């Protein structure tokens, strides 16, 4: 990893789970000066005291003009507002990327608001858990995870390569390029639909009391991601509305097939669905 790939000054907007982990991972790699941007001054102080960042700022414009690279690790709506409100403060020639789990609305906002002399490249680290905040951030969060980059027509190969190298350096095992529209469609199935299923299942669980003695790993595996970040996931669901609704309707069709096979005592039909499930699991790995 060349020093130039890290850029001289890196600013991270949002020092929560993802942003804090990014700062820690970059610090471990010996990146240049790392600055934190956050509305919570206590978080900034904590990050500075732990030497995760070299300086903290609650007002982004105080540091953006000196930042060669900016990583926006905010919730989707906040990321869009950050781009809009700070478009004139970014350093000419700066490389900007984000970490949002929804891509097309973020890229659209960047295209509409950012000047031509800065470059925005959409990014999505497939890392995280049910926790939130700087206190649960970890330099190891990205180890062996996937990282998706969503380039658009205004991106340079040099800029894309820089984000790819940084993603690999912080521990991501697979870095993929894909169009934002395709990303949002695929992620609605691989990431968002599992959360829909977990939420639905966990809501059903509230209707039955005293079931702890009757649960196994299959039960706990399904509901693991039901304890999610409500603010973040509400935004993701609403901003990727049509894709998620399509996936829910796909799920409803499969459930209807299962329901019909059970109701009709159709053992052959059930076994076909079971075999299809086994095939799907093998293809995923």
Check if the beta carbon of residue 61 is closer than 8 Å to that of residue 86.
yes
Total structural domains within the chain: 2
Between CA 281 and CA 204 the distance in angstroms is 25
pTM of the model: 0.91
132 and 196 assigned to the same domain:
no
17 and 146 assigned to the same domain:
yes
* pLDDT single digits (tens) 176-224: 999 999 999 999 999 999 999 999 988 988 877 777 778 888 888 888 8
53 and 173 assigned to the same domain:
yes
Between CA 200 and CA 196 the distance in angstroms is 6
Is 179 exposed, middle or buried (CB count within 10 Å of its CB: 0-12, 13-18, 19+)?
middle
23 and 65 assigned to the same domain:
yes
CATH code, domain with 40:
3.40.50.720
pLDDT at 4: 56
Between CA 84 and CA 117 the distance in angstroms is 15
* pLDDT single digits (tens) 237-266: 999 999 999 999 999 999 999 999 999 999
pLDDT at 57: 97
DSSP one-letter string for 248-278: HHHHHHHHHHHHHHHHTT-HHHHHHHHHHHH
Q: What domain range includes position 242? A: 183-284
């Amino acid at each position: 990893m060349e020093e130039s790939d890290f850029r001289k000054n890196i600013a991270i907007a949002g020092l929560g789970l993802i942003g804090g982990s990014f700062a820690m991972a970059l610090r471990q790699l010996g990146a240049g000066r790392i600055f934190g941007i956050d509305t919570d001054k206590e978080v900034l102080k904590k990050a500075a005291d732990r030497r995760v960042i070299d300086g903290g700022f609650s007002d982004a414009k105080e540091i953006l003009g000196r930042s060669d690279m900016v990583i926006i690790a905010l919730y989707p709506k906040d990321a869009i507002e950050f781009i809009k409100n700070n478009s004139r403060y970014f350093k000419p020639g700066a490389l900007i990327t984000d970490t949002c789990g929804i891509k097309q609305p973020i890229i659209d906002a960047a295209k509409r608001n950012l000047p031509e002399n800065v470059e925005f490249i959409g990014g999505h680290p497939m890392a995280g858990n049910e926790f939130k905040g700087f206190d649960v951030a970890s330099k190891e969060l990205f180890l062996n995870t996937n990282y998706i980059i969503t380039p658009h027509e205004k991106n340079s190969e040099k800029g894309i390569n820089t984000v790819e190298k940084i993603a690999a350096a912080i521990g991501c095992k697979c870095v993929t390029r894909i169009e934002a529209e395709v990303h949002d469609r695929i992620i609605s199935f691989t990431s968002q639909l599992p959360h829909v299923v977990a939420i639905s299942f966990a809501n059903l669980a509230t209707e039955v009391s005293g079931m702890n003695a009757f649960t196994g790993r299959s039960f706990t595996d399904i509901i693991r991601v039901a304890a999610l970040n409500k603010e973040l996931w509400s935004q993701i669901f609403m901003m990727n509305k049509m894709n998620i609704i399509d996936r829910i309707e796909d799920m409803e069709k499969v459930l209807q097939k299962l329901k019909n096979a059970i109701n009709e005592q159709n053992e052959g039909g059930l076994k076909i669905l079971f075999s299809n499930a086994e095939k799907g699991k093998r293809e995923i790995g």
